[in-house]
Structure 1
Amino acid sequence: MIPTVAEQVQFRVDRFQYGRVVGEWGGRHIAHGRQPGPDDILLNRADYLAIADDVRIAEAIRESTAAPPRADAQQALEVSLAEHMRAPAGVLCQSGWEANIGLLQTIATPRTPVYIDSLAHMSLWHGAKAAGAPLHPFRHNFPGHLREEIRTYGPGIIAVDAMYSTTGSRSPLAQLCDVAEQTGSLLVVDESRTLGTDGPLGAGAVVALGLAERVPFRTASLAAAFAGRAGFVCVNGLDFVDYFKMESYPAVFSAGLLPHEIAGLAAALEVVRTDDWRRERLRQISTRVRDALHAFGFDVGGVGSHIVALPGGPDLRAIAIRDFLEERGVFGAVLCPPVTPRNRTLIRLAMHADLTDAQVDRIIQVCGEARDTFGPLPAAPKHARATGPVPVQVTEVTR
């Protein structure tokens, strides 16, 4: 007898509950640790510059609720954000997810190959699918493999993250610009984790590298360093804005931002631009933690990134490490399949500018104790030793 649609849905729910929660995780949900206390260190948020509670932003939001909404407020913010990113124009979206989906949906077609880094954010993958475009993943941060793919399938759109959300690795943007220009392709860079933290006044990694004129499209989630809830598409052509607003499905079929959200983001932009000390503090903290963990033997990469990921290995080992850290007052984010490959769950520690020297000492000490207890690296799964790693799609849990 063929099961009903409702029965098929329930089967999938049961497979998750009994297959993963009960079977793989021993009855404990991997994302549900203990509740943090007032003295615990929270490294599980994307507020890298620690501006979420800034009184200037709160006051701007309060004032916006007491005054009539400005008809031109969103357009003014779009202009300010574009100028901040050294671009001619830009479009505000409801989220970073919708910015990426809307952009890829409006620039790709079923005849346009989309070449996407295997670790790029899932919203870029979904944007290509929304356009019906053929997808061709290339090896993470491997421009040579990208060239091979383009030689095989022809010029297309190259989609990458400036900084990848799971491991904090940085994209070789200058090399990717070369590939795009030499092959007649178009480069899209997601700056969600570098806008606000990199470059002059936080203009982003593309500006920091002097590549603004060579990258036609940049996107960003403003839920990270801007501590808001919106997304932005930054473009090098003024006429693209009206096209996007009338052709992008997320722009057409979603409600716009509310006046108090726009006011909060405008204030956040001023804080980001003014408080350069936050970027410097974040760099100091991140370098110190990353260098210490590297000395402990953890494979945290060699890049200057405020995202530091401890390799957890299989889910149960990662849960044990998460519990160990939380018992000692350090709270990271567990990233497991489908966010990571199977048996490569991570504990992501997102540094932020508000950490004190004593808290940084504590983070390093606790990570050292975790190394002594669990070892710096998990044992390689048997299938990985036999066949080598397989590229997978990796994304953040939320955006």
Structure 2
Amino acid sequence: MYGDLRARLATTLQEIDNAGLTKYERRLATPQSAHIQTATAAGQAASLNFCANNYLGLADHPEVVAAAKASYDDWGFGMASVRFICGTQELHKDLEGAISDFLGMADTILFSSCFDANGGVFEVLFGEEDAIISDELNHASLIDGIRLCKAQRFRYKNRDMADLRAQLEAAKASGTRQMCIVTDGVFSMDGYYAPLPQICDLAEEYGALVLVDDSHAVGFVGEHGRGTHELFDVMSRVDIITGTLGKALGGASGGYVSGPQEVVDLLRQRARPYLFSNAVAPAVAAGSMKAIDLARNSDALRQQLDANKVLFRELMTQAGFDLLPGEHAIVPVMFPGEEGARTAAQIADAMLEQGVYVIAFSYPVVPKGKARIRVQLSAAHSQDDVRACVAAFVAARAQVTGS
């Protein structure tokens, strides 16, 4: 019976490849870091890594690694079940408390990933009498999580406050019990910030909640790295924050929902990804605790990251590349048009040959005609690393396009 399905799958895979959209996973032979070794047919090759979410360089930080190692002796390898069945370690409660304190929220609940956190929060909190008003470019996990609940769904154009108002009006006219505005804090394909002050203004005007997925901000955005709600001085106006431990906060795994006490309490009772998934591994919890401690006391790391992203933008602009505007550590280098996807992929491959690891993004990850290489700066990069990355872009462009 598999023969017919095999043929259809093979055809689809060939169509993807013919369009230049096949995504290959490159193998690393070292820990995640700014300087890595990639596995090749000839052995290993040294590479500068400009495509990780390792914004503060904590993924291989010796203190984070040491905390994780020590946890094996103190807490073991894994929990072997879900928390309400097998118990929960003090380590997990300490981590939830640290996140709550860092973000300025009443309480926090851990999930195996932020995808699971976003997959569990909406079904519990919102029913068919409610309405979710979601930014059109929200992360896939938010989109999937919203689909799992029975609330009415409204979508507004990316960061468009006039359209958000229109959708709030439509939701209000439908007689909803509770409205909730949902947005990424940072839109990861563009590096754009959500306009949280204006969103909070509209939320207060219409009596709506505000839920922000701050995965690409927590740890390094804002004066103390708390995230976009700190950056825009709306910490008391954002109701619920979801986020990840898998980016700036150590880069491992695990996610969370942080918010009012009653929200977290109800999620512990009814959130399916929490009730039916193993607890976050003790080593991840211990390493993440140390990462949070480093992040909240790491002004020097944030300053280094800021200097790197400013230098990269300056040099790439001087070299004539098309960059999306912005201030985030995500800097998209654009290759628009019908051939953009193929060109971006070829340039990324050529850069790897020169020892710089970047990844091209194309449809369906981004809209058709808007292919890009998404460069992500890290505090672990030196200024020389940044200059080497720009030089590789220039050389690869000349190799691929002749210009």
Instruction: Please indicate the TM-score interval, normalised by the length of the shorter structure.
Output: 0.7 to 0.9
**2:194 aligned with 1:171:** yes
AA in 2 matched with 1:289: F
Of all paired residues, the percent bearing the same amino acid is 23
Which residue of structure 2 aligns with residue 279 of structure 1? Answer: 302
Question: What residue number does 2:255 align with?
Answer: 231
Q: In structure 2, which of residues 19, 24, 32 is the aligned counterpart of residue 24 of structure 1?
A: 19
- Displacement after TM superposition at 1:322 (Å): 1.4
Helix, strand or coil for the counterpart of 2:121? helix
5 Å-filtered alignment, 1:33-112, equals 35=38, 38-68=45-75, 71-112=89-130
Residue 7 of structure 1 and its aligned partner are, at CA, apart by 5.9
The structure-2 alpha-carbon separation of the partners of 1:271 and 1:256, relative to structure 1 and needing over 3 Å to count, comes to same
198-207 or 66-75, which deviates more: 66-75
Question: Structure 2: how far apart are the matches of 1:73 and 1:87?
Answer: 19
Residue 373 of structure 1 and its aligned partner are, at CA, apart by 6.3
Counting only pairs closer than 5 Å after superposition, residues 274-313 of structure 1 correspond to structure 2 as 274-313=297-336
What SS class does the counterpart of residue 202 from structure 2 fall into? Answer: helix
The answer for unaligned runs of 5 or more in structure 1 is 378-399
Q: Deviations over 1:65-88 (max 9, x none)?
A: 112568322111111111011112
Distance 2:302 2:164 in 1: 32
Q: Cα deviation per residue 1:159-208 (whole Å; 9 max; x = unaligned)?
A: 11111111111111111111111122221111101100112331112122
Correspondent of 2:284 among 241, 261, 275: 261
Q: Supply the distance in 2 between the matched residues of 1:152 and 1:11 (Cα, whole angstroms).
A: 46
Q: Which amino acid in structure 2 is aligned with residue 145 of structure 1?
A: D
| Residue 17 (structure 1) shift | 1.6
CA contact (8 A) 2:330 2:375 kept: yes
Deviates more, 1:102-111 or 1:354-363: 102-111
- In 2, the alpha carbon distance for the partners of 1:12 and 1:284 equals 49
Q: Which amino acid aligns with 1:364?
A: V
Deviations 1:137-157 (A, max 9, x none): 221111111111221232622
Q: Aligned residues, how many? A: 369
Q: Does the alignment pair 1:339 with 2:370? A: no
Residue 168 of structure 2 aligns with which residue? 150
Do 2:215 and 2:243's aligned partners in 1 also have CA atoms closer than 8 Å?
yes
CA distance, structure 1, for counterparts of residue 344 and residue 152 of structure 2: 35
Per-residue CA deviation, residues 234-253 of structure 1 (Å, 9 max, x unaligned), is 10x21222211111111111
Per-residue CA deviation, residues 301-356 of structure 1 (Å, 9 max, x unaligned), is 33211011112344222222212322322211222222111232221111111111
2:341, 2:361 within 8 Å by CA — same for their partners in 1? no
Distance 2:226 2:109 in 1: 16
State TM-score, norm by structure 1. 0.86
Q: Does structure 1 conserve the Cα–Cα contact (< 8 Å) formed by 2:186 and 2:193?
A: yes
Q: Displacement of 1:369 after TM fit?
A: 4.0
- Would you say 1:319 and 2:319 are equivalent positions? no
CA distance in structure 2 between the aligned counterparts of 1:286 and 1:195, rounded to whole angstroms: 17
The partner residue of 1:187 within 191, 210, 227 is 210
Q: 1:350 aligns with which of 376, 383, 394?
A: 376
For 1:373 and 1:181, locate their aligned partners in 2 and report how far apart those are by CA, in whole Å.
54
Letter in 2 for 1:19: E
Q: CA deviation at 1:374?
A: 6.5
Q: Relative to structure 1, is the Cα distance of residues 149 and 206 closer, same or farther in structure 2, using a 3 angstrom cutoff?
A: same
- The structure whose residues are more often strand, as a share, is 2
Instruction: Provide the secondary structure at the position in 1 that maps to 2:170.
Output: helix
SS at match of 1:201: coil
Q: Deviations over 1:36-63 (max 9, x none)?
A: 6554211121111111111111211121
Unaligned runs of 5+ in 2: 28-37, 77-87
Q: For residues 105 and 16 of structure 1, what CA distance do their matches in structure 2 show? A: 33
How big is the shift at 1:106? 1.9
Rounded to whole Å, the distance in 1 between the matches of 2:321 and 2:205 is: 38
Matches of 2:4 and 2:202, distance apart in 1: 45
Return the offset for 1:12.
4.5
Given candidates 289, 293, 297, the residue that maps to 1:270 is: 293
C-alpha distance in structure 2 between counterparts of 1:349 and 1:302, whole Å: 13
Match of 1:131 among 143, 149, 170: 149
CA distance in 1 between partners of 2:268 and 2:315 (Å): 47
* SS of aligned partner of 2:133: strand
SS for the counterpart of 1:304 is coil
Conservation of the 8 A alpha-carbon contact between 1:33 and 1:323? no
Q: CA deviation at 1:9?
A: 4.2
Alignment-mate amino acid for residue 24 of structure 2 = A
* Secondary structure of the structure 1 residue equivalent to 2:302: helix
What is the distance in 2 between the residues matched to 1:270 and 1:38? 34
Shift of 1:372: 5.6
Q: Which residue does 1:384 correspond to in 2?
A: none
1:371–1:172 Cα change, 3 Å:
farther
Which residue number corresponds to residue 385 of structure 2? Answer: 359
Matched, 1:161 2:184: yes
The structure-2 alpha-carbon separation of the partners of 1:131 and 1:216, relative to structure 1 and needing over 3 Å to count, comes to: same
